[in-house]
Structure formats: C-alpha cells, structure tokens
C-alpha cells in the first residue's frame, strides 16, 4: 500500500511508471524505487524460501546487509531487492532453495 498523503512529506508526487514481472505476473512500479518497495506496494511479502527448511523470508533490514530479501533478478540469483532499484522490463522471481523447488 502506497503512502499517498502525508502530514509532513505531503502528497506523493507522480513518477514515471515502469513495468516489472514478478513470477510471471506483470506489476507496475515507480521509476527510481527499490524492488522491495514495488513488491510491498503490490502486497508481495515473500522474497525467497530457505534452503533447508523451505521457510519464507522477506524484507528485514532494508539496508542491504541481512540478505533476507534476495531474489532472482533478470536471471541473477542473490540480488538484494531492498537496495536494487527497479528497471523497466525487469524479470523478478521468488528465490527457491538451491537445487530444489520451493513449496509455495
């Protein structure tokens, strides 16, 4: 959910739109925002499943340190989605455990 009105920061200004795909579904994002911001704005909280127990993980530190939010971006695994900005046409996938399917 986006914060459209804010008592200190004012109204959210218009931004150019970009389109990204998340697990095959097209979503709209604001140019310049992080991948995590675009995902949370669309209600997507899970970034990956852990290797051993296949547990879901999502945003935790938002400063690129904890690596809980890593996803597969344009075919590259382990991309920190809290510090990586969206680009038009980006293909994002929930990161599955290495070498196995994730239990969704």
Partner 1 sequence: MRSVDVAVIGAGPAGLSAAISARRQGADVLVIEQNPKPGGQLIKQIHKFFGSKEHGAGIRGIRLGESLYQEALCTGVRVWLDASVFGIFDASVLLVARGLLENKSASKYKVHAKSIVLATGASENSVSFAGWTLPGVMGAGAAQTMINVERVLPGKKTLILGSGNVGLIVGYQMLQAGADVVAVCDAQRKIGGYAVHAAKLSRAGVPFRLGFTVSRALGHAGVSAAEITKVDERWKPIPDSTEQFDVDTICIAAGLKPYAKLALMAGCRMVYSGILGGWVPAHDRCMMSSVPGVFVAGDLAGVEEASCAMEEGTLAGLGSARFAGLGEPGEIAELSHRAEKRLRELRMGRFGDHRQHAKNLIVEALSRG
Residues that bind partner 1 (CB under 8 A): 1-3, 5-9, 12, 33-34, 36-37, 40-41, 45-47, 55-65, 68, 76, 82-85
Q: Report the nearest approach of partner 1 to the CB of residue 58 (Å).
A: 3
- Nearest residue (CB) to partner 1, 3 versus 16: 3
Nearer to partner 1, 8 or 98 (CB): 8
What lies within 8 Å, CB to CB, of 22 at 6+ separation is: 39, 42, 44, 92, 93, 94
Q: Which residues pair with 80 in a beta bridge?
A: 70
Distance of closest approach, residue 17 Cβ to partner 1, in angstroms: 15
Kindly state the smallest distance separating residue 77's Cβ from partner 1, in Å.
Answer: 13
DSSP-assigned states of every residue in 9-69: T-SPPP--EEEEEETTEEEEEETT-BHHHHHHHTT----EE-TTT--EE----SSSSS-TT
Q: Which is nearer to partner 1, 57 or 97 (CB)?
A: 57
């Amino acid at each position: 959910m986006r914060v459209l009105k804010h008592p200190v920061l004012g109204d959210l200004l218009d931004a150019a739109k970009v389109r990204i795909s998340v697990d095959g579904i097209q979503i709209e994002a604001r140019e310049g925002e992080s991948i995590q911001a675009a995902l949370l704005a669309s209600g997507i909280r899970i970034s990956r499943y852990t290797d051993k127990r296949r547990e879901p993980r999502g945003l935790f530190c938002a400063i690129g340190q904890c690596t809980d939010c890593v996803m597969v971006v344009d075919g590259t695994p382990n991309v920190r989605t809290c510090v990586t900005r969206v680009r038009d046409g980006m293909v994002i996938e929930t990161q599955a455990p290495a070498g196995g399917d994730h239990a969704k």
